[in-house]
Every structure is written in structure tokens, then in C-alpha cells.
Chains A and B, each alone.
Chain A
């Protein structure tokens, strides 16, 4: 963040921000547009059958995670690898609170007694997950948000490693290396859809709030914002906490989507996929998070079908196994070279203009 190089080739660790400084006032299409797109995609795809419905539900879970990354990384410009740790916390909190007591007694014999008898419905467990996630994010954020740039990136990465190591080995607070089975599943796709819309609204209003604008000011020029009396640390802790809550919601939704949860569900692969979605869509906007998630999920699904083989007329077209991972990773790299600000360029949704 040296002043002498604040030109185009900035040496600050901030992700490329939008050419448009960001949203300052509430424009209803910016919120209604993404919601309409998500609702339409959800109902159109889930009407195709049970497997498509499951796929859409999984995409909504991922969307909530990408939104969690967006609200912190997009507004603060600080790269964080740690949000998957909060998803892990949320997934375990919600999973352990709802899995049948008998299952927990039989499968997880080392579990701490209060966690064994804990039993609640799916909706209260989601709230519990969000609260626990926010508490953990707040406490860790108090320390981690003192750091800037790459040091912050590596420190949040260290947080992910610590969380993975603890959850993978400590059988008193979770299933350890095992899978926690029999978590009650969502009945309908509408439940995940409603939660995703709530996350969208929260993340959008956090972004246009006074504090959201201040945080973006620190992203654009940390020194100037500090000179005007802004506490960068407080703002970052606030947004890190909110992001932790949304990430925990995503983790909790994951446990009710898959019907099971384990520590390695939220590790490097998960971190990579969600971060790639955000960067491909455009870090600086909520619309970017939505576009990135839907595009990457769609490409992934098409490639998966192609790997299994698709018959067009009499010709069977199929891709070699493993091509999916290669193409998605290559898409991320090409996207970064081609459009460093992502598909949306960091802009929010806007209606096409018909009048001049």
C-alpha cells in the first residue's frame, strides 16, 4: 500500500475493485434482479426431475457460501481463505443438533455428553449455526483483522488449517475423521431457496450500508480512509463476523442438503471452488457472486453429463474422466487473464436501457 505506486499497477494486495466505485444508494433492480434470476433458475431446473432438484439445492448452498466470501472480500479487498472454517463450524453445529440422539450414541461414542443429548428441529439448528459461526468469526477476527494484505491471507489460511486439524481429530466435539450420518434433509427446494434469498438481502444491505461504504473506502485507499478517522480494524471485524455467520449458514444448509457432514467437506477443494466462483463472477458485486456461482455450477454439470456420455442422434459424445476438473481450473485461469474483474466486471445488476 505504498503511496508512490498507487497508479494502475498498484502493489497493494487488494483485489481489483470495480471501475464503478460501488453502490451507494438502494436501487431496487440491483436486489430484485439477482433474486429473480435465482428464483427462476431454481424453479425451471428443479422442474426437470429429482436429480436436477438436488443439484439446484446444492448450488443454492454454494451460492450462500460465495455470498459470505463476497461480503467480506468484496467490500474489504482483503483475501480470506478462512471462511470455510466457519462453514465447518456451522455444518457441525447444525448437524449435531439435529441428528437423532440414538445415532449419535451408537456412531459417535466419544462425543461430549451435552452434544449427545442436544436435539432440535432443522430451523432452530440453522439459527444456532449462524450464532455459533458469528461468535467464532468475531473472536478470531479480533486478532486476524489486525493484519493487512498477504499476511492477512496467510493468517486466514492458517485458521482454516487449525479448524480442519481440530475437527478432523477431536472426537469430543464432532465426528472426527468419520462422517456424521442421518442429518435430517430439507424436504423441498424452497427451503434452500428462501435461505439463499435471505443471505442475498443481508449481503446486499451490508454492502450499501454506511459501514459498507466506509469499508470500501478503506479498500480503495486505506491511508486516506484512516486519515478521515475510519477504524479499518473495527469495520473489518464487523464484516468478518457477518461473513462468518453467512458462511456458517451455508455449512448448516450443506449438512441438511447432503444429509451428512464431515470435516473434509469444507477443506481446500471447497475453498478453491467457492473462491473461483467469486473471482469468475466478479469480486466487487453481489451480482458477481450470483453469476459466478450459477455459471461455474452450470459448466460443471454440463461437463459431468458429458463425462457420462451424451447421445446426440446416433453419436455418443463423451469426455475422458477427469476432464471436468481440468476445464473448471483452466476456466478460472483464463478468466483471470482475460477479465481480471470477472464476468460482471464488479458491477451490480442493472436493467437494460430502452430509452436514451
Chain B
């Protein structure tokens, strides 16, 4: 029972982090970034390749820097040139970038999974009041709390964070007031890359291997979380991701033999939430249709 709750919390934390990374970029430029999954995948590739020879700390640094750089490259190479495009064009473009990177990974790293033990102690168990729980779920919860707290500090207490919030709620007015749009969007991409690296670390320790489609599943679910949480609201994105992750974990635990239908129930719930609250659970003013 305790393990079920911890699993739900750690799954929720993981998807919350992924959804926050997507929500950051969505907030400042209305881009639903499908290619976030490929940021997670490159983070996992870098970890799997560097950790066995260079050790865990160096591997994490390389993964974080590499992922943030790829995120920035995406923005400079593609999305910067699509500033005037509507959200649907941006969505299709990010779909294209996502498939492009998957194919590139296939060419560079091969289609077969690469495996390595990144942090084997995460899979061990510890004893809490007579019940054993996996270390990984505890570490994931702590990591999610620390990163969410760090992001909160950054967004709420720094000038750049203030600019990101301003741009999220009204981009045009923020620009008029002297917020440098390219800098803010670039920063949002870099931070979404850092969050993607954190997600990659947790996911790759759980699965132990990485393939070109590594990030697709997490991203699809986190994306859905971002949308049902509330478009344009960062708290909403994190909350939505958390809800999707913990719902999956709970459905898996309670559906028993019918757990293959977890996604059916999850996505039916998603459609219901969207029908009841099209703007998301935490709907911001900026996302509402004005008449």
C-alpha cells in the first residue's frame, strides 16, 4: 500500500517535471513542443554513454549541458524562424523536429536499445516502518520536490523569471515594456532542457536502456498533462503532469488484469476533463477566448 502511494507520487513527480518543461516553453511562445521527448532521449543517451567511463557526477553534468544545448539549438534553428506562425503550425513543426531527431538518433546510435547501469543503487530497497520501498521512488520524489522548488525560486524571485511570467501572461505587452523576447524564449528552452535531463536521469535508471523512441511516451503523457492542467499556467502544467502520472500509476495498481487498458481509461478521463474545462484545470486569463 505504501509502495503504491509512493509509486503514484514518484510517477506524478516525474511527469510533473516533464510537463513543467513543456509548459515553460508553451507559456512564452504558445508552442506545444513534441520534440521535448527527444531532449529527454539525448539526456538518456549522454548518461548511458558517459557514466560507465567517466562516473556519475561527470555524466550528469555532460547530460544537463548537452540537453540544454540541444534545446537552444532547436529554438535557434527552427522555432525562432517561426515566430509569426500560429500554434498549429508550431505544433506540426515540433512534430517534424521530433521525428527528425528520432531518425538522427537511429542513424547515430542505432535502432537497438543501448543499455548501461547508470545508478544501480536506485533500484535497491529500504525499510520504512516495516514495509520495504524502492529507493528510486524516494529519490524521484525528492528530486522532483527540489527541482520544482528551484524552478519556483527562479520563476518567482529572479528578474529573468519575472520576465518569463510576464511573457507567459501577455507576450505583446511584455515586449512593449522592454522584455527581450528572444532572450526570454531562449531561457525558457534552456530550462526546459535542464528539466528534460532530470527526467532522463530518473527514467533511464528505471529502464536501464535507451532507444530512439525513449522519450516519446513520457512526452505524450506530459503534453496531455500540460494541456489539462491549464494552458499558459506553470503551476497548472506541473499539476496536470502530476495528475496524469499518478493516475497512470494508480490505474496500473487497481485495474489488475485489465491494466493493458490503462491508457484507454486515462485518455477517456482526459477527454472528459477537456470537455468540462476546455481551458484546463487552472485556466489562466490569457488562454481564455475573449469576446
Contacts and interface: CB of A to CB of B under 8 A. Distances in A.
Q: Do A and B bind each other?
A: yes
A225 interface: no
A181 B169 CA distance: 54
A3 interface: yes
A79 interface: yes
Interface stretch (A26-34, A130-138, A158-166, A201-209): A158-166
Given A340-B85, A340-B89, A146 B78 contact: no
B95 A275 contact: yes
Interface residues of A, number: 54
A contacts with B: majority SS: helix
B99 A329 contact: yes
Nearest to A10: B86
A304 to B, nearest CB: 14
Contact of B267 (A15, A143, A162): A162
Nearest to B87: A13
Given A4-B290, A11-B30, A320 B88 contact: no
A143 B88 contact: no
B82 interface: yes
Nearest to A222: B289
A144 B267 CA distance: 13
Interface stretch (B9-17, B134-142, B151-159, B258-266): B258-266
B16 to A, nearest CB: 18
Given A158-B270, A169-B260, A276-B96, A3 B290 contact: yes
Interface in A217-238: 223
Given A15-B88, A276-B96, A330-B100, A2 B289 contact: yes
Given A2-B290, A159-B271, A322-B103, A272 B86 contact: no
B231 interface: yes
Given A2-B290, A15-B89, A153-B88, A165 B261 contact: yes
Contact-residue size bin, chain B (C-beta under 8 Å from the other chain): 35 or more
Nearest to B262: A165
B99 A272 contact: yes
A9 interface: yes
Contact of B220 (A5, A143, A161): A161
B289 A1 contact: yes
Contacts of B176: none
Contacts of B271: 143-144, 155, 158-159
Contacts of A157: 220, 224
B278 interface: yes
A65 B33 CA distance: 25
Given A330-B100, A337-B81, A143 B275 contact: yes
A155 B274 CA distance: 7
B100 A151 contact: no
Interface of A: 1-5, 8-16, 77, 79, 143-144, 146-151, 153-155, 157-159, 161-162, 165-166, 169, 223, 268, 272, 275-276, 279, 320-323, 325-326, 329-330, 332-333, 336-337, 340
Interface of B: 30, 32, 78, 81-89, 91-93, 95-97, 99-100, 102-104, 106-107, 172, 216, 220, 223-224, 227-228, 231, 260-264, 267-268, 270-271, 274-275, 278-279, 289-291
18 contacts: A4-B290, A8-B84, A9-B84, A14-B86, A79-B91, A144-B271, A150-B231, A151-B278, A154-B270, A155-B275, A162-B267, A165-B262, A329-B96, A329-B99, A329-B100, A332-B92, A332-B96, A333-B78
